[in-house]
Amino acid sequence: MSRGDFDVIAGAGPYRVQKDGRRRGVAHSRFADAEAAALHLVEANPGETFIITREVARVGSHRASKGEQQ
């Protein structure tokens, strides 16, 4: 399997490689790095599927600091 086997559109990262239903994987700053990691995982785990996701935003709870209204 090689990059030529896929249609790829690479925008700004970070990118993560993960198996469906599992926790997020390691962040890669470039798509090419995430792609190389995914290809390595596919070759090491025949029959498994891995996805590359691009992190667009993080959402978390905000704690008000002293003097700030909630």
Model confidence over 11-40: pLDDT tens digits?
666 777 766 656 666 788 888 888 899 899
In this structure, is residue 45 part of a structural domain? yes
In this structure, is residue 3 part of a structural domain? no
In this structure, is residue 44 part of a structural domain? yes
* The pLDDT of residue 36: 92
Q: Helix count (H) and strand count (E) of the chain?
A: 1, 3
In this structure, is residue 50 part of a structural domain? yes
Name the domain count of the chain: 1
Question: Who has greater pLDDT, 9 or 30?
Answer: 30
For the entire predicted model, the pTM comes to 0.54
Question: Who has greater pLDDT, 1 or 61?
Answer: 61
* The pLDDT of residue 67: 65
* The pLDDT of residue 20: 60
Q: Domain range holding 39?
A: 13-54
In this structure, is residue 31 part of a structural domain? yes
The dihedral region occupied by 67, where left means phi > 0, alpha psi between -120 and 50, and beta the remainder, is left
Residue 66 has pLDDT above 60, yes or no: yes
